């Protein structure tokens, strides 16, 4: 499990929304894709192949050494090994089996929905398998690199105990966690890589040397591919002394997409919330939450303040939605359609502060958006708060439009009414 706060904790209300929402929005790729990327940087991984059908799984298994293979479901969530498939109850998204059993196992996994501790009960679709060679693991370590505000740069995190929840280890024995900051300008040094390898406890001079080389190459992946997090669990030393990456999670900075078109083309939208996928088409910053008050706000800071105020007043935000400063009829229409498609929404709070984007222009877009989803007969209870540039004209446009809404200039008054309507 990652040291980063999972988005699911935000949705369950275990952390304040405003503090956590910015930890989202990073490209995540499947394990087989990460393994291929690692190989291109000289990082050692077990021999593996992806399979998209049962027949392909059988053929790929034949190419692997040994009598047994590892069959791993490819969903973007942790805890796969302890998960189960919703349709047939089959236990375990990671299986070790004889090659003549691959077809049987693949049939139970492909095209099914895997439920893990990180997916929630809805699960995630498993459309791909990774067939990997079975290796003899002697020891398992944990290793990751992430951007760290405290050290103002990349931070290497390690633990001599891997293959388990690093959060549990950190809570029980915090001294077991190794942290080595790396200067963003100078990059990783041979001494830092060697120190990490030594503290992780790799056996033998060659094992320690190979681990240091692998750590250096993983740092190259992190920097050159604009990663936000690179997590290896386990980083394993085999019984024959080799050091391999046996499981990986890699996130990439969406802001660097223009530099890494091929990596970002790997995005698997089937693993994402369909409403979030639709929102991205219109450059809307949308994150689905579990509450009942939909928020439509211009500006990330105001959006987070809105979510906090709703929570303080006893309500629960159904989403984070920043429509941006250039709200148009098209984007507002898309925003209303996305919000209306969420069955959990009981009320909508449109909270607009007009600055560069004038209130009259936004009001026209809001009116058009409401009408596009069916008008007053279709829209859910609506609260609109307008303040800022041309606010009087904006209010007038909404009043004359016939759109049924609770109108106010006051932030708190609007939030209270939204909470009341959603109760």
Q: How far is residue 345's CA from residue 41's CA, in Å, rounded to a whole number?
A: 46
Residues 6 or more apart whose CB falls under 8 angstroms from that of 415 comprise 306, 309, 310, 313, 315, 349, 351, 385
- Burial level of 313, CB count in 10 A (0-12/13-18/19+)? middle
The DSSP letter of residue 343 is T
Radius of gyration, CA atoms only, the chain: 25
102 Rama class: left (phi>0) / alpha (psi -120 to 50) / beta: alpha
In the residue annotation, 142 being an active-site residue is answered as yes
Query: Three-state DSSP class for 330?
Result: helix
Say which of 140, 231, 276, 364 is annotated catalytic: 231
* Contact present, 382 and 352 (Cβ < 8 Å): no
Is the backbone peptide bond immediately before 234 cis, with ω within 30 degrees of 0? yes
Say which of 32, 133, 140, 142 is annotated catalytic: 142
CA-angle at 250, arms to 244 and 255, nearest 5°? 150
In the residue annotation, 44 being an active-site residue is answered as no
* Beta bridge partners of residue 299, listed in sequence order: none
Query: Three-state DSSP class for 292?
Result: coil
Annotated catalytic residues are 142, 231
């Amino acid at each position: 499990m990652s040291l980063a706060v999972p988005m699911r904790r935000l949705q369950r209300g275990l952390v304040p929304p405003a503090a956590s929402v910015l930890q989202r929005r990073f490209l995540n790729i499947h394990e087989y894709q990460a393994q291929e990327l690692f190989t291109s940087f000289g990082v050692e991984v077990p021999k593996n192949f992806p399979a998209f059908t049962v027949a392909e799984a059988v053929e790929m298994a034949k190419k692997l050494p040994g009598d047994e293979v590892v069959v791993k479901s490819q969903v973007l969530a942790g805890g796969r090994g302890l998960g189960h498939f919703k349709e047939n109850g089959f236990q375990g998204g990671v299986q070790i089996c004889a090659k003549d059993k691959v077809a049987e196992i693949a049939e139970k996994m492909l095209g099914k929905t895997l439920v893990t501790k990180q997916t929630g009960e809805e699960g995630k679709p498993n459309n791909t398998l990774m067939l990997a060679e079975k290796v003899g693991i002697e020891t398992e370590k944990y290793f990751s690199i992430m951007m760290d505000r405290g050290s103002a740069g990349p931070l290497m995190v390690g633990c001599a105990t891997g293959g388990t929840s690093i959060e549990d280890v950190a809570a029980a024995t915090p001294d077991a966690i190794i942290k080595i900051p790396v200067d963003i300008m100078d990059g990783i040094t041979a001494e830092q890589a060697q120190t990490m390898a030594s503290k992780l406890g790799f056996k033998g001079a060659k094992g320690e040397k190979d681990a240091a080389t692998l750590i250096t190459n993983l740092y190259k992946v992190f920097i050159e591919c604009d990663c936000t997090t690179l997590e290896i669990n386990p980083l394993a030393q085999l019984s024959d002394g080799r050091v391999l990456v046996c499981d990986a999670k890699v996130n990439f900075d969406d802001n660097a997409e223009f530099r890494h078109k091929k990596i970002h083309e790997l995005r698997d939208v089937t693993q994402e919330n369909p409403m979030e996928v639709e929102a991205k088409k219109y450059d809307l910053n949308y994150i689905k939450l579990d509450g009942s008050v939909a928020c439509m706000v211009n500006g990330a800071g105001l959006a987070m303040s809105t979510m906090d105020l709703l929570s303080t007043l006893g309500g629960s935000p159904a989403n984070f939605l920043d429509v941006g400063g250039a709200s148009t009829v098209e984007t507002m229409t898309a925003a209303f359609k996305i919000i209306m498609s969420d069955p959990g929404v009981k009320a909508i709070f449109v909270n607009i502060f007009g600055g560069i984007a004038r209130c009259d222009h936004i009001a026209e877009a809001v009116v058009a958006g409401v009408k596009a989803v069916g008008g007053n007969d279709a829209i859910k209870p609506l609260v609109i708060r307008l303040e800022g540039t041309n606010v009087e004209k904006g209010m007038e446009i909404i009043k004359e439009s016939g759109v049924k809404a609770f109108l106010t200039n006051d932030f708190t008054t609007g939030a209270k009414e939204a909470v009341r309507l959603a109760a």
